[in-house]
């Protein structure tokens, strides 16, 4: 995973939603300066920060870390059956991620 791609994805989704640094900062509880630093960084922010940003942008966190993230206009609905999901170990907070599914 290219960590600079994460910053690019955050910026692209923020702009596609019409959000300023200030608005995203308010939605995440982060400072405006920190949001700006994240978008201009070559290192990925902590996992917990990515979760806050994804929630504020109303997108799946996987889109922030994907090398080929699609813009919201290009996203398709994907159906994932329960038995096709994979649990990712995260102490105290198990997550579900898409392994495969049917996209419409």
What is the domain-level CATH number for residue 10? 1.10.260.40
What is the residue range of 15's domain? 1-67
Number of domains composing the chain:
2
Do both 4 and 30 map to the same domain? yes
Q: Tell me: the pLDDT tens digits for 17-68?
A: 999 999 999 999 999 999 999 999 888 899 999 999 999 999 988 888 887 6
Is-contact 29 87, C-beta < 8 A?
A: no
For the whole model, what pTM was predicted? 0.65
Tokens representing 56? Answer: 């504020």
Do both 31 and 80 map to the same domain? no
């Amino acid at each position: 995973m290219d960590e600079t791609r994460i910053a690019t994805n955050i910026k692209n989704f923020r702009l596609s939603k019409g959000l300023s640094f200030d608005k995203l900062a308010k939605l995440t509880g982060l400072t405006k300066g920190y949001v700006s630093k994240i978008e201009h960084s070559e290192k990925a922010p902590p996992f917990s920060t990515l979760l806050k940003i994804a929630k504020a942008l109303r997108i799946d966190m996987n889109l922030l870390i994907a090398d080929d993230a699609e813009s919201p206009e290009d996203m398709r609905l994907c159906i994932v059956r329960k038995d096709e999901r994979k649990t990712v170990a995260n102490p105290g907070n198990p997550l579900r991620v898409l392994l495969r599914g049917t996209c419409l």
